[in-house]
Each structure stands twice: as structure tokens, then as C-alpha cells.
Chains A and B, each alone.
Chain A
């Protein structure tokens, strides 16, 4: 029973962060059609900036106020400078997806190299809210719970934004059919860049939340990109609620496997991915 609670609550806590990372990738791939391998790098940069600010005495949770807008602007500019160009030059959407992905890999190498040059490759960590909380006999550290609450809150706020504002509507229209949305008067290049920017902002925020819970590494980004890829396939491409729920599911599975065999957690994600592609490639809530 205690083990069960440990896995369930532990899985939900890490799952909340997975959800946030995956919603970001879902916007970038599901809507903006860029399979952004560098997604995890935005997360890593967010985590390391938080670490740097924490060292000079800034409360890590406050750094979200800075990191989210900065990441948004960076993502927006990147889309407008690189990916819009590729999109316009590509003869069909398939070519854009392939070339966009390769360009994202280039971005990944660039960011990775710069980060290693600045921060090296040793793990870094700091202490923040590290008192234990007892839930039904299972012990959890306070900072994980704070991080999960923040992740869920940001997810819900973003969902409300999508569901109830005019820009949100434009994003949902672009997700369904960019060409038609463009004909209906949606400024498609702007909306797609907006999505890419939001995705980067979410990754950056997730990075902040990860840095308050776990030791951080300059090479950790790719692992989160892999997780987010599995989650968006699980939830259905382009489905924001799907990614949100998928994150929790993967969190629980990953925590369970890690309890049993720590070396196989990543392999288990990949097995889930294979099964999904074989049985239900459109995911839980996808409609493509």
C-alpha cells in the first residue's frame, strides 16, 4: 500500500511537470508543425538561469516571471527567422516537417554546445523548501508538491486562454487546418510563431520547476524531449488536454518502472511509444 501510494503520488508529481513540457511540444509540433528536438534545451536553459539567479539570492519561483517572457520572445524570433523561411520554401508540408526537424537538431547542437561552454557538464543543485511532508505514510518533499501545483496551474490557465480568447481560437483553428485558417483571416505566420513561443515559454517554466526539485545537468534536455514526444503521441498530436493527461500517465508508469528497475525507465517509454504507434498512432484524444 505504501509502495502503491509512493508510485501513484510520486508519479503524479513528476507527471505534472511532464504535462507542462509536453503541452509546450504539443503546441510546437501539433500546431506549428516543427518537431522541435531542441525543446528540452529551452527547459535546460530555464533551469540554469534559475540556478544562476538563485545563487545571487533570487527566489526560484519568482524567476518564472522573467524566464517565461524571455523564452517566449526567443521562441517567437527563432520561428520567424528560421522556421517561417523553411515553411515558405518547402514544396509540401511533409518536406517542411522533415527539414524543420533537421533544423531543430541543428539548434539543439548549438544550444547544447553553448551551455556546456558556459556551465560545464557537472550536475548543479541548490536547496529550496526541502522539508518532508507525510501523505498517508509516504514521505514527499515540499518542493516537489509546490512544483506540481505550479505546473498544473500554468496548464489550466493556458487551457482557459485557448478556450476563451480570440487568439486562443485562432490557435485552435491553425491546429486543425493552417491553410483554411489563413483563408479565414488568421495571420498564420504570426499565430504559428506565437505557438512556438508559447511552447518555448512552457519548456522554460518547466525548467524552473525542475531546478527546484532535482539536480540539473546541461545534457538533461534531450531526455525531456523524448518524454514529451512519447506524451504527445500518447495524448494525440495537437491535443492540448491529451498532452496534459498523457503527462500524468507517463509519470506514473515511469515512476513505477523506476522503482522496479531504475535502468529501464527510459526503455519503458520507448516500449510504450512502439505499442502506441502499432495500435493507436492517433493517440488517446487525437482526431487526425
Chain B
């Protein structure tokens, strides 16, 4: 490697700022701000799912509504193995189980048109919910399961670890040849296939990788509540939240989904605890419609546009 080629200033900015943020986040539980730990756990959680959602859906344009399915698989992994196995093993189980499910679903549906994929993935959530309900009530004669509780700090540190891995994987995928292949699929699938991209395999693999984080995070979030049942585990809102956050933040940039997730989690915190609790879905829906109608490129797109306009105004030659 030729070290003289490295632009140290550039490297300092791209690696330094994330490191500083990471150190601040790492000492979070030591500041004695209890609400902060819960709030930042929620931030990290939504950042992880919206970044991993964008990993696949943002690049390829296939809208996946299966997030709730993978998240629910993670929750059930925690319910089944949480009492007997150490937490990191359960997190692995949740991730691997989601990977396998996503791989199978991808292999079945990703040859189809985008809209079928969206319908299919949404149906998957409903199917898993119905089947597990049926299994629990008719065959086992129970409803719901008990999960072993973990402390807020443990939850926070696990989420932080998954967050770091998710961001690294998202960054690597975006910067690699593989990410380029994904982008080309999103722009024109046929053209990508003609230039030698193994379109189906690339799509399936990315979909499966993105599902790993959703499953892993499901395990962690399950330990915050003592009781889970299919309707809380496979809540369809979990499928829409990452899509809305990513679109709102902007999918053209890795920080877009992060920004969207932080803003929306904060709005959610305010709405769900305040007097507007009963209007939460209404506001969520209205924001979804408004975002798609007026912010198709998200906040990041808006910021980049404005930035370009400011820079353009400085450097553009005066006309006439």
C-alpha cells in the first residue's frame, strides 16, 4: 500500500467524526441520565432498522415490507432461547434465522416485479402472525410467551455494537464493487444483467444480509418487555417505520436514514407520551403522504439541493 497517496485530512474527517460520536455514545450510561439511555436506545434501534432497510430497498428500489417479519423472528428467538442461552448466542440465532428466512423469501420472490415483492413481503408478516397465533392457541393452548428481562445498560451496549456493525456493513456495501452492482440494478435491471451482474444472486444476498440486523435487533428489543405475543412481535408498523424514516431522511446518502430515524423517533417519543397519543397513526400517515408527495428525495436530497444552489450561486458566471 502506498501511504503517501492517502489524503490524511479526508481520512481524519471520514473516520474521526464517527469515532468521536462513538466515544460519546459509548459513555452514555455513565452520565447518570436514565431517560437518555432509553431515548438513545430507541434512536439506535430505529437507526439500525432504517439503515439496514435502505441497504437493500434504497439501492434496488424493491420496497420490502418484511421488516416486521424479521424483527418478529428475533423477538421469538429471544422468547424461545433467552432463558437458557447467553444473550450474544441468542442474538446470533435471531440474525441467522432471519438471514435464512430472507434468503428463502428472496429466492422465491425477487425474480418477480417490484410490486409483487412488496405485496408478498407484507403478506409474509400477516402469515407469520396468523400461523404462530394458530400454533400457540390451537396446538399449545397458550397465548404469548415470557422473555427474560435485561437491564437498560445491557440493551444499550448491545444496540450500540449492532449499530456499529450495521453502519460498517452499509458503508462497505456502498463503497464496494458489489454496491455498484446493486445501484445498477436499481437504475436498470436489464442493463445490469447485460453488463455481467448476477442480478438475482446480488439481490437475494443483500436482502438476506439486511435481514440479519433486523433479526438481531429484535432479540435485543424483546428483552425490554417481559411478555411477547404474535400481535406485538409481528406488528405491521415495524415494516412501515423504517421505510418512512429512510424516505423522509433520503436514501441517496448513508446519513439520510440516520437523520430520518432520529427525527422520527423523537417525534414518536413526544406523540406517544403526550396528549396527542390517540392521533399518532393519523399524524404518521399524513407525514408519510406528505413526504412522498413533496420530499421524494428526502431531507438529505433537499439539503444537497440547497447546498448545490448556494455553491452554484457563488461560482456561476453572472448572466447578461
Contacts and interface: CB of A to CB of B under 8 A. Distances in A.
Interface in B195-246: 240, 243-244
Contacts of A266: 126-127, 130
A68 interface: no
Which bracket fits the contact residues of A?
35 or more
A270 B128 CA distance: 10
Interface in B102-158: 108-109, 112-116, 118-120, 123-124, 126-127, 130-131, 133-134, 137-138
Contacts of B240: 102, 105
A155 to B, nearest CB: 23
A282 to B, nearest CB: 11
A112 interface: yes
Contact of B130 (A85, A99, A267): A267
Nearest to A271: B127
Contacts of B61: 94-95, 98
A270 B127 contact: yes
Contacts of A89: 296
A86 interface: yes
A85 B243 CA distance: 20
A277 B108 contact: yes
Contacts of A109: 281-282, 284-285, 288
Which bracket fits the contact residues of B?
35 or more
Contact of A102 (B116, B137, B282, B292): B292
Interface string A97-124: 1110111011111101110010000000
A226 B123 contact: yes
Q: Chain A CB within 10 Å — which of B127, B131, B284 has the most?
A: B127
A22 interface: no
Contacts of B108: 274, 277-278
A106 B292 contact: yes
A117 B278 contact: yes
Contacts of A97: 114-115
Given A85-B293, A97-B115, A103-B293, A110 B282 contact: yes
A103 B292 contact: yes
Nearest to A111: B285
B120 A267 contact: no
A102 B247 contact: yes
Given A267-B134, A270-B127, A82 B285 contact: no
A53 interface: no
B59 to A, nearest CB: 13
A108 B285 contact: yes
A241 interface: no
Given A86-B293, A94-B114, A110-B285, 9 more contacts: A98-B63, A102-B240, A113-B281, A114-B282, A263-B138, A270-B123, A270-B127, A270-B130, A273-B120
15 contacts: A82-B289, A89-B296, A94-B61, A102-B240, A103-B288, A109-B285, A113-B278, A117-B279, A226-B123, A263-B134, A263-B138, A266-B130, A270-B126, A270-B127, A273-B119
